Structure 1
């Protein structure tokens, strides 16, 4: 950890109450006059593990540990980004005569296609999560009579049954938000930046703080390199101040992951959570998750100028909505169609996936949570287009071809019968799902791309409608390229009495 900095001589810190600290910095102008600038911003969250730079691995532990086969080693546990985000151990141990037979396992005992990811047991002084090691150098093992390992691991550290009063975690490849509230450096409170987003739902309060190094240049470097790094620290507490278990926390962290995927249009997660009791780290989880590169997507609706407000609203809605397991499953499955289309699938497949996602949500809306039986649903709808159109109509989403989607309009003009944008996209999609010999099905990349952008935009709206989101969205389908924040609009169902969001319907 960074050592606290001395308070500069021109800075005065006072406390108006236990919760309010005033930081005042006085400057002397050339003419001798003084100017005092003060603030009451809270300290930025700090995590048990200090995150590194772009693509930089983290060391989590150094010392003795027991691997998944019950053997004791000396070495290191670290978090690495490559080839995928994961926790790995490296270590050595001296061999004994009884060990040599274990070096040649019987292949006949290996079954199936999966290899196990073992837990690792580490030495824990005072039964607390070990502190992150600093500047550790490991001597090379002798060339003979020693065994070395390098293995992928995952598991819980500390007391999984402990009552926790707070939990912190790290988020990679998060979001830029110019409307976030101000926080400051705990070691040098003069340093402040716009970085905090807070939300609450289902009895939980979540705080996200942007890491101080993530300035505009760092975001640009992350985007240009399509790289990966930790960008935010998160904190989870019960809104009423009560304690909770690690099992409850993991359930909420998974739901936060779902909410972030919807808000960002790509995959990220809550990494390396550490649970605290009376400010002492008593539990941690070492595990990796898939993360998509930091990129922007053409059909996504998040607006950097108001992203903090939008994200807070999304997560609050998702936490409330996913309190029911069947709703969480539906949202998760629909996101499985939405995210891949945003993050780089072939444009033709990017048409098929959103339509399947819309079909899933239509069935969930009208049958799973609606008054229609599955039998009646099958009788009422002859085609996928019927099912999707019912959902879009309920959401008050119009379906003409946008005037500036000239390539999609070209496809529309070639069709044997008159169709709107939905009908045209379904026609193209059927060439992939139901290929028929002799039927023309070749489209240009731009024709597929415009169809994919529009279809996935509809799916994104349907996901927002699913959780009851009623805030504004970036007008990403405009005819000309605008700067972020130049134009926003309300979600379609907020414009009329149609399309009451499911989560708020009576």
Structure 2
């Protein structure tokens, strides 16, 4: 090993390097009583993004200087990413008015018609054709010395660099991510003695993806984020090709969209890959300033992830999503089915929360048996006279039986009122038909609790069907148990797993 190198930050930390270049960090803790304690680790540096994120609901500085708006007019000002009232890229700037501006007031130029208005694009100054560095601060927009000036404050999008440029890596930020106590250890590159469990690595379809939890996201920060239903960046992501080859930003954005789909399935809510920056030879040559919808970080979240093993679960699921969505028709099917799943999972009217999952199950059943199966559309319609028959076929293939869970007493009360009685699927379909196909003289009057239990079970089946769609066979948590679930509770394999791994499943497990 090489000669120890003292850490400039702490005199009890030494850094050495092994022959293969591996860094070894040794920290010695002196105690009042007893011999010193030595801690040694070889953890890699945490990922670093071009833009340093802030605390919950805190804006992110992106740019300060001159820029051109969509009309080719030059302003001086600032560009920021802001969370409120919704995630967006915001520009503010000023410029002196010219004689042409006054002429425009009397021109015959037509105004935009229709109900849509485009989000404006801006072009910023790029020293050395690189993505501008993040400003240290955003100052008050300077006003020209003359009185005839114009100020703008607008929502914009911005692409820096060419979408055709070759990149060798890309980083991005993820808001409202996940807790994972089984993640690999990483350390602070500025102070390697500080380390934490934060890295998840996965990949698929020729791509490798790494997620690092930001150091400020400790247990207290997660609790505050959850209790406030807040929003903040929690992870840095890194994307590259497995073989090290280059790629364009257009290719990268397609993969980021597929990662977004996978995260939505894993987390049960909306998040995305924000502020991507592409690099070539470690230099930032491309960036995209654009915002996307994000759901608050609340207790209503994933049905599948357990924070004790979430890193492994997420890596497995995302790998399968990347492979599955390599085909466009598969990507569309998964996207459309998630559109039924996410709104119900994050909070929806209980009655409609029954209709949406059933429609999603119907979509996936058709996709499984007809689109990717061997049954023709005509034969499918002949075999299945109604929605219940279509959904039941899919649940049967998934090895999910459908009794009413014993602790779903309100759904059982609905079942008891039916003549003849039906299982959980038949009961839920009966309730769903009252709102999808209302019949005069037969109103569907159900309590909130009855709707809620029907919605919970139907959306649980839809979530299982989404996992079945991508051939996920890992563990999931037992979310439909009769008692309040805690992290680390019982986990089991999905119902379609081989008999050696799984057990007989019913609606209540």
Q: Pick the TM interval, shorter chain.
A: over 0.9
| 1:350-388 Cα shifts (integer Å, max 9, x gaps) | 000000000000000000000000111111111100000
Match of 2:4 in 1: none
| 1:160-210 Cα shifts (integer Å, max 9, x gaps) | 222111100000000011111111000001111110000010000000000
Number of matched pairs: 495
Q: Quickly say closer, same or farther: Cα 1:401–1:298, change in 2 above 3 A.
A: farther
> Is it true that 1:287 corresponds to 2:290 in the alignment?
yes
Contact 1:394 1:498 survives alignment (8 Å):
no
Secondary structure in 1 matching 2:18: strand
Secondary structure in 2 matching 1:109: coil
> Is it true that 1:328 corresponds to 2:331 in the alignment?
yes
Secondary structure in 2 matching 1:320: helix
Secondary structure in 1 matching 2:360: helix
Match of 1:296 in 2: 299
Match of 2:30 in 1: 28
Secondary structure in 1 matching 2:191: coil
Q: State the Cα distance separating 1:300 from its structure 2 match.
A: 1.2
Q: State the Cα distance separating 1:496 from its structure 2 match.
A: 3.8
Q: Quickly say closer, same or farther: Cα 1:481–1:498, change in 2 above 3 A.
A: closer
CA–CA distance in 2 between the matches of 1:104 and 1:388?
63
CA–CA distance in 1 between the matches of 2:34 and 2:379?
83
| 1:194-250 Cα shifts (integer Å, max 9, x gaps) | 100000100000000000000111111111111100000000011111111111100
TM-score normalised by L of structure 1: 0.95
CA–CA distance in 2 between the matches of 1:496 and 1:332?
30
Contact 1:303 1:473 survives alignment (8 Å):
yes
Map 1:6-405 → 2, pairs under 5 A = 6-31=8-33, 33-103=35-105, 109-141=111-143, 144-297=147-300, 300-405=303-408
Gaps of 5+ in 1: 500-506
Contact 1:179 1:305 survives alignment (8 Å):
yes
CA–CA distance in 1 between the matches of 2:98 and 2:306?
61
Contact 1:299 1:454 survives alignment (8 Å):
no
CA–CA distance in 2 between the matches of 1:220 and 1:352?
33
CA–CA distance in 1 between the matches of 2:239 and 2:341?
27
Q: State the Cα distance separating 1:137 from its structure 2 match.
A: 1.8
Q: Quickly say closer, same or farther: Cα 1:294–1:139, change in 2 above 3 A.
A: closer
Cα RMSD after superposing both structures: 1.7
Instruction: Give the stretch that moved more between structures: 28-37 or 205-214.
Output: 28-37
Contact 2:268 2:301 survives alignment (8 Å):
no
Secondary structure in 1 matching 2:308: helix
Pick one of 420, 433, 436 that aligns with 1:433: 436
Contact 1:90 1:151 survives alignment (8 Å):
yes
Q: State the Cα distance separating 1:158 from its structure 2 match.
A: 1.7
CA–CA distance in 2 between the matches of 1:375 and 1:322?
27
Q: State the Cα distance separating 1:88 from its structure 2 match.
A: 1.3
Match of 1:502 in 2: none
Q: Quickly say closer, same or farther: Cα 1:17–1:201, change in 2 above 3 A.
A: farther
Pick one of 491, 495, 507 that aligns with 1:492: 495
CA–CA distance in 1 between the matches of 2:500 and 2:426?
25
Secondary structure in 1 matching 2:93: strand
Q: State the Cα distance separating 1:302 from its structure 2 match.
A: 1.3
Q: Quickly say closer, same or farther: Cα 1:495–1:146, change in 2 above 3 A.
A: same
